[in-house]
Amino acid sequence: MDHARILIVDDEPAIVKMLQMVLRKEGFGQIYTAASCREALSEIAAHGADFVLLDVMLPDGTGFDLCPQLRAYGSPHILFLTARASDLDVLTGFAIGGDDYVTKPFNPLEIAARIKARLRRGELGSRPAAEPPVLPRAWDFGRFKVDEAAGELTVLGKPVPCPAQVFQLLLYFCKHPGIVFSKSQLYEAVWGIDGMGEDNTVTVHIRRIRERIEEDPSNPKYLLTVRGLGYKLVKENGR
């Protein structure tokens, strides 16, 4: 893990110091810091980065504005760390290129765990800047539609409010239609850390999705339970 380069961009010294201490104890050695947009661009130009822990509110701009600029330097994995916790802020963070979003206050060990989870999945290393971006997509299931770029769920043609994590879980299903996922697989994919012991979190979010997309949430036609295995998203009648 020592070769993973981590850039912390935050203007609160106490948070930066805490993250540095915990990340070093967890085995990360290449840690750089910046307290502004200008400093962040200088640091990433000098050292590169595999992971960026990015605050949204900075003295000379916002993390939302800075995120696309950081992606020019090898497209590091960007994890927003911010006190801005509204659904709109979270969806904005993902829409402009963030890979993860954690609200303050947070447990620094959780941040280390999220980074390790990505490393276990082989996501270390800057992605080539010349790699074509994966464009946001939209999915049409007839009764409902999911628009990734707009961060919008529409049911029978009408927008339906959808909390950020509920939308991200639905989006994950849309990107993998017809595939069965266990609760632990879903938790790790969407929440970013090992899903052991998080059955209830996934179950609650599955229910919230069904309450939005299904005509009868207790008798789902789209988000199905596969007994003993998990869940899958299908077209109506399993198509």
Distance, in Å, from the CA atom of 227 to the CA atom of 225, rounded to the nearest integer, reads 6
Q: Does 225 reside within a domain?
A: yes
| The pLDDT value given to residue 31 | 94
pLDDT score, position 11? 93
Residues 149 and 106 in one domain: no
CATH number, domain with residue 74: 3.40.50.2300
Helix (H) or strand (E) holding 30: strand 30-34
Q: DSSP string covering 18-46, please?
A: HHHHHHHHTT--EEEEESSHHHHHHHHHH
Q: Do 108 and 183 lie in a common domain?
A: no
Give pLDDT, residue 1: 53
Question: What's the pLDDT at 198?
Answer: 56
- Based on the fold, state whether residues 115 and 15 are members of the same structural domain: yes
Return the pLDDT at 92: 79
**Tell me, what's the pLDDT at 129?**
42
**Residues 155, 219 within the same domain:** yes
Nearest of 64, 105, 94 to residue 192 by alpha carbon:
94
Q: What is the pTM of this model?
A: 0.53
Do 89 and 192 lie in a common domain? no
Q: Provide the domain count of the chain.
A: 2
Residue 215 and residue 103: Cα distance in Å, rounded?
Answer: 33
Answer yes or no: do 177 and 104 share one domain.
no
**Residue at a domain's end among 57, 89, 120:** 120
6 touches 50 (CB < 8 A): yes
With beta carbons less than 8 A apart as the criterion, state whether 64 and 92 touch.
Answer: yes
Same domain, 93 and 150: no
> Do 31 and 71 share a domain, yes or no?
yes
Contact present, 222 and 128 (Cβ < 8 Å): no
Task: Split the chain (239 residues) into runs of 10 and give each run's mean pLDDT.
Answer: 84 93 92 93 90 91 87 84 78 81 87 86 51 64 90 94 90 90 85 62 92 95 93 77
Expressed as residue numbers, the domain containing 209 is 138-238
